[in-house]
Copies of this chain bind each other. A is one copy, B any other.
Amino acid sequence: MREVAERAGVAISSVSRVLSGHPDVSEEMRNQVMAAVAELGYKPDLLAQGLRSRITKSVGFVTGDMSNPVFAQIVSGAEVTLREAGFSMLLTNSLVDPDLDRHNIELLEQRRADGLIILPVSETHEPTVAALAELTVPVVVVERDLPARVRASLVLSDHSRGMSAAVERLLELGHRRLALISGPALRPTRQRREAVEAVLAAHRIDPRSLIVRDGLFSPGHGARATRELLDLDDPPTALIAGSNQIMIGALKTISERGFELGRDLSFVGCDDIAIASLYSPPISVVERDLAAIGEAAARLLLTHVSDPETEPQEILLGTRYIDRASCGPVATAL
C-alpha cells in the first residue's frame, strides 16, 4: 500500500479507501490509485480482503502427524466438504510435538483462517490449551477431550462400541489372558482400555488381568511391546493393538517370530488400513469411518463460521468390529 501510495502521489489512507471500495472516493482518486496498482503489478491481496470482510474462505487444520494414514484420511474427508462450500484448507503438521501444535494454531490464526479444525498431539499441554482458549475464530476438536475452557465443537468416535464387540469375540473364542498395546493418554486410548476392562468385568474376569503396555502411536512401540509380551513367562493368548501404527509394528514382530495369527496368537487391530485385509490371515479390526469424521468436522466448522452465534456441538460417530481370521480359538494346553 505504501508503494502504491507513493506511486499515485496520495496518502496510504486514500489507497486503503479505494481498495476497500469506500464510497467517499473521487473518480480521479480511484483512477490514480488503480493506475499505480496496475503499474506496480499489485495483485488483489486475499489477506487485505480478509481484513475487510472478516472472512477469507479458508480454514486451518492442525494435525499431529501427517505420516499417520488415519490423520491423512480425516484431513481428506474434511477438505472435500470444505471445497464444496468454496473454502480452502491450510494444513499444518506438528511432527508429534505439542509445542508445534501451539505454534501452528497461532500461525493459522495470523494467516487469517476463518476457523480451525484440530487433532492435537496432547490433551493437557498447557500452551496449546491456552492458545485454543484464546482463539477468536471457531474451533472444532477431533477425537480429543480438552479442558472445558476451550470452547469448541467436538467430533468424536464411540471407541467403546467396536472395542467391546472385539473383546466379546475374544472371550467367546476362549481367550482369558489378553494384552492391550496402548497409545498415549488421549481419549481414544482411554476409551479403548476402559471398554476392554468393562467387558472383562462383565464376564467376571478380573480387569487387572489385562496386560497393558503404554507408548506412542508408532510402529516402534508396537514392535517392542509385542516382543516383550511374547517373551513373558505366561504370554497373552490374544493381543489388541490400540492404533494402526502400533498394529504395523506388532505385525513386524509377529512375522519375524513366524507366529500364525488365529492359531498361535489371536490379534485385533484398530482402523481398517489396507494392510489389515491384505495380511495373511486377514486381521480383525475396530474400524471407524475416517472420511465421515473429517466431513462432520468440516460441516460443523462451516456452521460456526457462517453463524458465530451457534452454540458448540458434539457429534459422536460409531465404530464397528470386523471379525477376520486373525482371531481364532485359544490353543488348548496339551
Question: Residues of A with Cβ closer than 8 Å to B?
Answer: 1-2, 11-13, 16, 43, 45-47, 58, 66-67, 69, 72-73, 75-76, 79-80, 83, 88-93, 95, 100, 103-104, 107, 110-112, 219, 248, 251-252, 255, 274-275, 277-280
**Once the chains are docked, how many angstroms separate the CA of A253 from the CA of B215?**
35
Residues of B within 8 A of A47 (CB): 47, 110-112
* B89 and A45 contacting across the interface, CB-CB below 8 Å: no
* B93 and A90 contacting across the interface, CB-CB below 8 Å: no
* B95 and A92 contacting across the interface, CB-CB below 8 Å: no
CB distance from A283 to the nearest CB of B (A): 10
CB distance from A263 to the nearest CB of B (A): 14
Partner among B11, B69, B104, B255 whose Cβ is within 8 Å of the Cβ of A72 = B69
Partner among B43, B66, B104 whose Cβ is within 8 Å of the Cβ of A75 = B66
**Once the chains are docked, how many angstroms separate the CA of A111 from the CA of B58?**
10
Residues of B within 8 A of A89 (CB): 92-93
19 contacts between A and B (CB under 8 A): A2-B16, A43-B110, A45-B110, A46-B110, A47-B110, A66-B75, A66-B79, A66-B91, A67-B72, A83-B95, A89-B93, A90-B107, A91-B92, A248-B274, A248-B278, A252-B278, A255-B280, A275-B275, A279-B279
